[in-house]
Structure formats: structure tokens, C-alpha cells
Amino acid sequence: MLKRKFLVISLLAATSVATIGCVQYTSAKKEQTPIKVIKDTKAITPPHIIASKVDIYEGITGYDWLNEDKILMTKENEKLEEVETAVGNFKVKNMFLYDLRTKGSIGIHDQSKFQDGGIFSPDRKHIFYRNQYQEQGAGYIIDENGNLTFEILDADMDPYDLSEAQWINDEEIIMPCSSIRGFAVININGTITKIKDVESGVMGTQDLLNGLSMPQPMKVGDKIYYTTIKSGSEENNKLRVYDIEKKDKKTLVTDEVLEFKVSPNQQQILMTTFNSETYLNELILIDLEGQNRQVLAEGGIYGARWSKDGKNIAYISNEEGDKGIYLIEVETNKKSLVSSGEYYIPMAWSPEGDKIMAHGKVAKKGENPFDEMDVTYIISLK
């Protein structure tokens, strides 16, 4: 049964402290540890899959694609001291644009502060990223040349809120705004629109175990779609829609919704739900009114993502014996195994839909069997 196992960890980590400065592109320093690339690992790709090859990049976490050849990724800065927080120490990570062809990278920022969660705007002209390791969370929007467009530093915004930010369109980002029990819409021109009192009661940023959280909202027209997390409550794992004009909300479906993604054409919603009768997760399509329900798959499903053209859906299965990344053609409902193995989020389609990037973990060489490092898989489709 897949539940939101990592919410508590995410919220705790979001309250820790660090600093951040101005933004610019700089060349990656030559003395940094090079990224080890393992080419065409056919040993982990059985013959019945639809991947032509899988390349493994050790020591990095890929987040998004600039184009078919360049990815936005983070890796640990081995020269900086760990960030000390109330819940443990964290190694400082920096962001880079990495060229899959030349194996070269250019750094975002001065490479001395923590950076995380980078995502491109749909037109690939802006990047949002955050530094959650400081007392007041800071988010940053930079343009395609690395110039700082806007620094998001607002007393109403918690570091956890910034970790749930998503692009609405080429110019706007939406995120929860827990202190006002609502949301914030941020434009690249620096304006912030706050939608207050969508929910009521104690929020998760105030009471980690019993409060309400509203992760990864999405705005479509005058409506905001969001899920709720409130452990042990009837409000837990509900998909809701809030009408900004009418200032009214409703629960869209009765399912226990773990995650959702609005389709690229903003006509459908892809939900990952938990079925309490079968104890399985289900991948379900609905329209924006919660109707025209279509069950696509069931099992140990999570991390479902639309391709950029909306024609395909990729998801991860952690079902014992069936672990891997799977693909569903939306029009035909045909399901294929992309690559078997143990994969994690973040996972992202390339802009042309020819590749899928996914996260993984591998054991480090040494005496400690639990010592792992991040790896990024670039899966090329046939």
C-alpha cells in the first residue's frame, strides 16, 4: 500500500536553516568530481521492454529537461560543509545544466549555497528553484540566460510551500500558502496574488502530525485543484476544487487520492488513488468535473507523469516482481514495460517524448551496505 510516507520527512526538512545569494551562470570548476556515465546498460533491460538503451549518471539527481540533450540536475558540493538542522545534517547540493552529449555542465549560482527542486517553465525560458534550508524559505525565478528575474521571499510562505510550487503557464507559478490557509500565484514580473481562507483550522506547518496540508496545487482558469493531507481525518487524501470567483470549494471525487496531474491540454486529470478494498493503488483518468472515469492500471503505482503532448503516461511500479517504469498510450490504453528495475521520482519526460529521466539509488563502494548515492537514469525509447 502506497501512502504518503515521506510527508513528515519533507516537512521537517523544510524547516531547517541555510543562506542563499545572487544568481548567475558560471562554468563548472575543473577540480569538481566528474560525473561517471555508464552507457547502454542492457543487463538491467530485459528484451521485452520498449527502451532502446538506459544510460546511468552517477552522483546526480535530474529534475527537468531544457531540450533533448540538456537536463537540469543537482549534485553534492563536496567542498562545502553540511547544513546542520534540527532533524539532522544535509549535504549542500548545487544545480547545473548538464549536456548529455558533451558531458559538460554549467553551474547555476555561485556554487556555494544550497539549491534544489529546479523546474523549467513550459516554454523553457525560466527556471524556478528554491533554497529550503533557511529560516524563511526563499524561491528564485531566473531567465534563460541565468539572470535573476524575481526572488520569492515572503513572510506568508513557508519552506514547505515553496517545495510544492508548480508552473501554471509560461509566466505564473502556484504554490500552497499555509499561513493564510490558501494559495499564492506568482508572476515572473514580481507580482504575487494570494488566495486566502480556502481551508480552515490548523495547518501542517503549524502542527506536523495533525494539521492540514495542500500539496502541489494546479490552477486551471478560475479554479484551483488540490489534494489534502490530514492524517487520521476524513479530509485525508481528498481531491478538491476551489472556485476563485465564487469562493467555493467542493470534493471532486470520493477516492482516496494520493497524487494528481492535470493533462497538458488542461482537459483531464490523472489521479493515483488507493483502493481500500483491494489494497492496491489505481491510476485513473477523469475530466475536470470528476466525470468520465477510466481506470488505466492498478498495482504499486506512483509518480505518474504525462508526456508533453499528452499522448502517453509514464508511471513507476514498486510491485514485487513487476518493478519498473511503464508506459500507457492514452488513446488505446496499451500498456508497455519501459524498463524493469527500481526507480524513484523525480521522473520527467523529455520535450519531444523520446526519453524519460528517472531517479535511482545505488550502493556506494565501501564497508557500509546502507551507504547509497543518487543516480539518474536516461531511458531512450524505441
3-state SS track over 67-116: CCCEEEEEEECCCCCCEEECCEEECCEEEEEEECCCCCEEEECCCCCCCE
Residues ≥6 apart with Cβ < 8 Å to 311? 329, 330, 331, 353
% of the chain at pLDDT higher than 70: 85
pLDDT of residue 317: 93
CA angle 3, 313, 117 (to 5 degrees): 60
DSSP 8-state code for residue 225: E
Cell 518493478 locates to 323
Q: What is the pLDDT of residues 139-179, one digit of tens each?
A: 999 988 888 899 998 989 988 899 999 999 999 999 999 99
pLDDT over 70 at 261, yes or no: yes
Which one, of 139, 113, 138, 114, lies nearest residue 126 by Cα?
139
Which one, of 294, 235, 238, 237, lies nearest residue 263 by Cα?
294
- Identity at 305, one-letter amino acid code: R
Distance set, CA 48 to CA 252, 344, 382 (Å): 38, 21, 12
Q: Within 13 Å, how many C-alpha atoms sit on residue 207's CB side?
A: 10
Element (H, E) at 163: helix 159-163
pLDDT over 90 at 73, yes or no: yes
What pLDDT band is residue 315 in, cutting at 50, 70 and 90? very high
pLDDT of residue 196: 97
Which one, of 110, 113, 116, 111, lies nearest residue 129 by Cα?
116
pLDDT (mean) for 208-222: 92
Which one, of 325, 215, 306, 292, lies nearest residue 262 by Cα?
306
Cβ neighbours around 79 below 10 Å, total? 12
Burial 38-58 (b: 16+ CB within 10 A, else e): eeeeeebbeeebebebbbbbb
C-alpha cell at 283: 491510476
pLDDT over 80 at 34, yes or no: no
Q: Please check whether residue 312 is in contact with residue 352, taking contact to mean a CB–CB distance below 8 angstroms.
A: no
Which one, of 170, 234, 163, 225, lies nearest residue 195 by Cα?
225
C-alpha cell at 359: 531517479
pLDDT of residue 183: 98
Q: What is the pLDDT of residues 320-338, one digit of tens each?
A: 788 999 999 999 999 999 9
Q: State pTM to two decimals.
A: 0.85
pLDDT (mean) for 286-308: 96
Q: Which long-range contacts (CB under 8 A, 24 or more apart) does 236-239 make?
A: 237/4, 237/274, 239/269, 239/271, 239/290
pLDDT of residue 234: 86
Q: Within 13 Å, how many C-alpha atoms sit on residue 299's CB side?
A: 17
Alpha-carbon distance 262 to 269, whole Å?
4
Report phi then psi at 9, rounded to 5: -65, -45
pLDDT (mean) for 19-45: 38
Strands 93-99 and 105-108: antiparallel
Average pLDDT, the chain: 85
C-alpha cell at 81: 560543509
Cβ neighbours around 224 below 10 Å, total? 23
pLDDT (mean) for 350-373: 88
pLDDT of residue 135: 65
Q: Which residues pair with 38 in a beta bridge?
A: 56
pLDDT (mean) for 184-205: 94
Q: Omega into 346 within 30° of 0, i.e. cis? A: yes
Of the listed ranges 16-20, 67-71, 233-237, 244-248, the one predicted with least confidence? 16-20
Of the listed ranges 44-48, 62-66, 114-118, 266-270, the one predicted with least confidence? 44-48
% of the chain at pLDDT higher than 90: 64
pLDDT of residue 281: 96
